[in-house]
Amino acid sequence: MTGTTVDTDFIHVFEPGSDPARRPLLLLHGTGGDERDLLSLGRTVAPGASLLSPRGKVLEGAAPRFFRRLAEGVFDEADLRQRTDELADFVLLARERYGLPAPIALGFSNGANIAAALLLQRPEILAGAALLRAMVPFAEPPRADLTGKPVLILSGALDPIVPKANAEALARQLGESGAAVEHRALPAGHGLGQADIGLLGDWLARN
């Protein structure tokens, strides 16, 4: 397994895949996670895919995140826009370095939120995205052409952090920009379970 790399803008792990037919995954952890947090999930739901997993550069206390928030569910949108561009530029450099096509983002919570921001602000960066417990990232989103890009949103009907209406608004927003959105609300909270893993694996096999 490839070790953590620290000689680029983002501390990250890259694991080369064994199946060239598989799209690489861009793994984006939640608050308090790191570059190794989602590796086992990536291997489980996309066996053989290359995995690119950066660590968020913002610290909330000691917890890494991808962008700042003002309160739970209230984002610092100026910081979010800057961090989205930083992450997009990192993905472009990593693609060149590792010889990768455009990846599918697999993000959880804070990582899912910046993945949604990437779709809207830098749509050329991603081939698609699986957004786990994501929220609407921008109050006034950039205009994006997401025609044909596959997007899976898995929300928790019992999630205390992401209101049902917010997840539905994100699905609607991405769909109106042309994405091929599948949205499933699971009988779950903010954490992930076996149902998420099964749906993720099926969706990635098709995309």
Q: Which position among 109, 155, 177, 196 bears the catalytic label?
A: 109
The β-bridge partners of 12 are 5, 54
Give the three-class secondary structure for 176: helix
Q: Which of 123, 127, 180, 132 is nearest to 154 (CA)?
A: 132
Q: How far apart, in whole angstroms, are the C-alpha atoms of residue 157 and residue 24?
A: 29
Token readout for 76 is 């610092």
Token readout for 106 is 């697999």
159 part of the active site: yes
Q: Where are the alpha helices (DSSP H) in the chain?
A: 39-45, 77-98, 110-121, 164-176, 194-206
Token readout for 47 is 């066996």
Distance of CA 184 to the CA centre of its chain: 16
Q: Which position among 34, 76, 85, 190 bears the catalytic label?
A: 190
Q: How far apart, in whole angstroms, are the C-alpha atoms of residue 205 and residue 71?
A: 37
177 part of the active site: no
Q: Which position among 12, 53, 159, 177 bears the catalytic label?
A: 159
Give the three-class secondary structure for 111: helix
The residues assigned a catalytic role are: 109, 159, 190
